[in-house]
Structure 1
Amino acid sequence: MKEKIIQKASELFLNLGFKSVTMDDIANEMGISKKTIYTHFNNKTELVLEAVLAVFHEITCGIDHIQALQKNPIEELYEIKKFALQQLKNEKSSPQYQLQKYYPEIYATLKQRQFEKMADCTLSNLKRGVAMGLYRENLDIEFVSRIYFIGVSGIKDDQLFPMSQFPKAKLMEDYLEYHLRGIVTANGLKILNQFINQQTN
């Protein structure tokens, strides 16, 4: 039952926002009593933490799977972007903004874990890209990896990038192209152009 509560809470939080969804809403959606939820979680904050970590775990497992396929580094980044978009497709609120505003400690925990995971993923991608001659060999990969993380985090800010002006899919597409154009070699650019053409056709 605990796992089912986390799953339903995660859906509702992503769709409606962490602030908007009450324990009553979750209980009503599941057809259970609020008391049942409180036998597994002491309070809403505890449930929010569990839900956030569950979603994070699901996304990291998906990224691990993509990395294990050992595709060329440019294709790998496009696959990760596609997977991330699928994960976010049901977001109708601004979950990151609400999490930051109402649950700052949980947001800080999540951001640290995201940084650690993404640093591993991006460093591995950059090293392989340089070794394969697709990324420039003079890259400072620690610097590029951190700048990429800042950018990926930054474009989630709905105040800077309102959805009405910057649809999520287009925004992620444009940012990935921006990142890759700065680091590819001539050979890498040929592969990148193939992916850009695929997106526009």
Structure 2
Amino acid sequence: MKETILNKATELFLEQGFKSVTMDDLANEMGISKKTIYSHFENKTKLIEESTSHLLNSISAGIDDIRELHKNPIEELYEIKKFVMLHLKDEKSSPQYQLQKYYPKIHKIMHTRQFEIMEDCVLANIKRGMEHGIYRENLNIDFVARIYFTGVTSIKDLKLFPVNRFPIRKLMDDYLEYHLRGIITPEGRIILHKIINSNEK
């Protein structure tokens, strides 16, 4: 039952936001009593803590699965972006903003873990891209990995990128293209254009 509650809570948090969803909402949605929820999670903060950890574990496992397919590095980044967007349900309710505002300690822990997951993935991706000759050979790998992470987290700032002007799906596509155009070789550009053209069809 704990796993079922965790899955449903994570789904609601992503759809409506961490602050917006109450324990009553969760109980009503699941057709169970609040007492049942509290028998597994002592309070909402604990539920959010476990929910964010559960979500990151799922995303991390999914990214590992994609990496094991050994696609070319440019295609790999697009596959990971697509998977993460699907898992986060396009972040329609800006849950990360609510998490940062109302649960800053949990947000800080999540941010650190996100960096650890992404750093390993992006560093490996850049190295492979350089070996394949589709990323420039003179890249400062650590700098590129960190600037990429900084950008991915910064574009979720609603004050900088309000959703009505920057729909999240388009914003992520634009950012990934921006990142890649700064590091690819002419050979990499051919691959990038093929992916962009196929995505537009």
TM-score (norm 1): 0.97
Contact 2:90-2:169 within 8 A present in 1 as well: no
Deviations 1:20-41 (A, max 9, x none): 1111111111111111111111
* 1:11 is aligned to 2:6: no
Structure 2 counterpart SS, 1:40:
coil
- Structure 2 match to 1:138: 138
Match of 2:41 in 1: 41
Tell me which amino acid in the other structure corresponds to 1:6: L
| Alignment match, 2:109 | 109
The reply on whether 1:190 has 2:190 as its aligned counterpart is yes
Q: Is contact 2:63-2:80 (8 Å) kept?
A: yes
The residue aligned with 1:153 is 153
Alpha-carbon distance, 1:198 to partner = 1.3
Q: CA deviation at 1:90?
A: 5.7
Q: Distance in 2 between matches of 1:199 and 1:165?
A: 21
Q: Which runs of 5+ in 2 are unaligned?
A: none
Q: Which runs of 4+ in 1 moved over 6 A?
A: none
Deviation at 1:200, TM superposition (A): 2.1
Q: Deviations over 1:127-169 (max 9, x none)?
A: 0000111101100000000000001111111221111101111
Residue 89 of structure 1 deviates from its aligned partner by: 2.7
CA deviations on 1:41-61 (whole Å, 9 max, x unpaired) are: 111100000111111111111
| Percent identical residues | 64
CA distance in 1, matches of 2:30, 2:90: 19
Equivalent-residue separation in structure 1 for 2:90 and 2:156 (angstroms): 15
User: After alignment, is 55-64 or 141-150 more displaced?
Assistant: 55-64
Output the CA distance in 2 between the equivalents of 1:116 and 1:38: 31
Superposition TM-score, scaled by structure 2 size:
0.97
Aligned to 1:50: 50
**What do residues 63-119 of structure 1 show as CA deviations (whole Å, max 9, x unaligned)?**
111000000101101111111221233633110000001100000000000000000
Letter of the 1:155 counterpart:
I
Q: CA RMSD in A?
A: 1.0
Identify the range of structure 1 (6-15 vs 112-121) with the bigger mean alpha-carbon deviation. 6-15
After superposition, where does 1:53-132 map in structure 2 within 5 Å? Answer: 53-89=53-89, 91-132=91-132
Q: Secondary structure at the residue paired with 1:138? A: coil
Select between 176-185 and 80-89 the one with higher mean Cα deviation.
Answer: 80-89
Is contact 2:73-2:128 (8 Å) kept? yes
